[in-house]
Amino acid sequence: MKALILGGGAREHAIAWVLSRSKVFDEIHAAPGNGGIAEVAHLHEINPTKGEDVVALAKKISADLTVVGPEAPLMTGVPDALRCEGIPVFGPGIDGARLEGSKAFAKSFMLDVGIPTPSFHICRTVAEAKEALSLRHPPFVVKADGLAAGKGAFVVEELAEAMRLCRSLLEEGVLGEAGRTVIIEDYIAGRELTAMLLIDGKNTGLLPLSQDHKRALDGDKGPNTGGMGAYAPVPWASKALVGRIEEISSTTACALKAKNIDYRGVIYIGLMVDRDERPWVLEYNARFGDPEAQVVLPICDVDWGEVMLSVAKSEPLSAIRAKDCAVGVVMASGGYPGHYDVGFEISGLEEARKTEGVLIFHAGTKRDGEKLVTSGGRVLTVVGLDPSLEEARAKAYRGASAISFEGAHYRRDIAWQALSPKTPRKGGDAR
């Protein structure tokens, strides 16, 4: 059987890697892929957001399953186009993808079905934003309604700064249409957590919990990014907390079904856990998280080919458990998430792979003749696997230290909340 993966980041490389190890698929294809995915899949240069192009490719290669990695093809209805042609797809249709495409829609959905989420106002004018902010105390949380590559959420201490942000989004259009509507919501202090839930329209399966690190710099400082690292599972998540998250997951799945949304894929639930161990939903995403996928997929004791095909065909799901611990460290280009240069040669990959339990998932890489060079902001995710979370972390950093390219930088404190929980950090990072 043949699988087609849409996307070209480290998340998609992780998907390609687990599918290449599946007994179900003997041929993997990716569009457009990257320099690392090319090691396990055939690459195709098409635009993965154009439904007609994806359908044509899927038919040409006789794909038995298409897996949608990033959000962009979901928002343009690519899964709908494939399903109309009878091609099984892992990924929701455009109606389900709205949970990620519009924070206003997602927050209204949560309120409607009783999902715990911070109190909020949806604002379309500066006057509305000013009124919403006047009802709150600092710190202030301002979010763009639409997709902003993980950079549309802001937490600021000063009212004047919050108003400046709202003007830049609503009037100046700094994020384009994504920021023409903003959400002002209450700030929740606590620890972030990611829950990813498989939904096949009938059944659900909660994956091992993980924790992302959104800020660019050590100590949870600097600007928000697409994610600088993650670990799984989460040892500080108590049974009571997991039970509450399972309730949220069940409510979400039941609400989708009640609203006649045929959701077949994974739903990412971004949570904030307060000091009373109450989980609050900050956001939904309609796909695997990045970098969460890179640490969750490899540790699950399943054949991912079987699982994804079952989800796409609405067949029963088996229980999914973690067989290992994983820590993933994102190596980024100098200047990321701001301006950065590309085209720098990457060296040390073979040396990094010599450490047992080290996986390297490519994001912003491409082949330039015989060389592998940087082509994006987040370049690689170096993952360490081990039964011990502490040793998994050591392996990840051992691997990262062996790799070099001009301007490379990465956080040195991934998994600190699990391994050094008494270290003071700024909490309550919003999404």
Q: What is the mean pLDDT of each run of 10 residues along the chain (431 residues)?
A: 98 99 98 96 97 98 98 98 98 98 98 98 98 97 92 93 98 96 97 96 92 95 93 98 97 96 97 97 98 99 97 90 98 97 98 97 95 97 98 98 98 95 47 49
Query: In sequence order, what are the residues at sequence separation of 6 or more whose Cβ sits closer than 8 angstroms to the Cβ of residue 364?
Result: 9, 34, 333, 342, 374, 375, 376, 377, 378, 379
Exposure letters 4-19 (e unless 16+ CB within 10 A, then b): bbbbbbbbbbbbbbbb
Q: At the top level of CATH, which class does the domain 2-93 belong to?
A: alpha beta
List Cα–Cα distances, 360 to 51, 81, 234, 289, 396, in angstroms: 30, 33, 21, 17, 9
How far CA 429 is from CA of 17, 72, 236, 244, 421, in Å, comes to 31, 25, 18, 21, 16
Instruction: List the domain boundaries for the chain.
Output: 2-93, 120-185
How many other CB atoms are found less than 10 A from the CB of residue 21?
Answer: 13
State the residue for tokens 């070209």.
Answer: 8
pLDDT for position 151: 78
Report phi then psi at 132, rounded to 5. Answer: -65, -40
Pick the CATH number of 120-185 from 2.60.40.150, 3.30.70.260, 3.40.50.2300, 3.30.1490.20: 3.30.1490.20
User: What is the pTM assigned to this prediction?
Assistant: 0.95
Distance CA 165, CA 172 (A): 10
Q: Check if the beta carbon of residue 226 is closer than 8 Å to that of residue 149.
A: yes
Return all residues near 290 (Cβ < 8 A) that are at least 6 apart.
Answer: 9, 10, 11, 70, 226, 227, 363
Give residue 424's pLDDT: 42
Task: With beta carbons less than 8 A apart as the criterion, state whether 67 and 15 touch.
Answer: yes
CA atoms of 352 and 374, how far apart (whole Å): 17
Give CA separation, 271 vs 10, 196, 303, in Å. Answer: 22, 11, 27
Bridge pairing between strands 65-68 and 2-7 = parallel
* CB-neighbour burial class of residue 157 (10 A; exposed 0-12, middle 13-18, buried 19+): exposed
Q: Report the distance separating Cα 406 and Cα 373, nearest Å.
A: 10
Please tell me the distance from the alpha carbon of residue 431 to that of residue 424, in angstroms, as a whole number: 21
The tokens for 130 are 């000013």
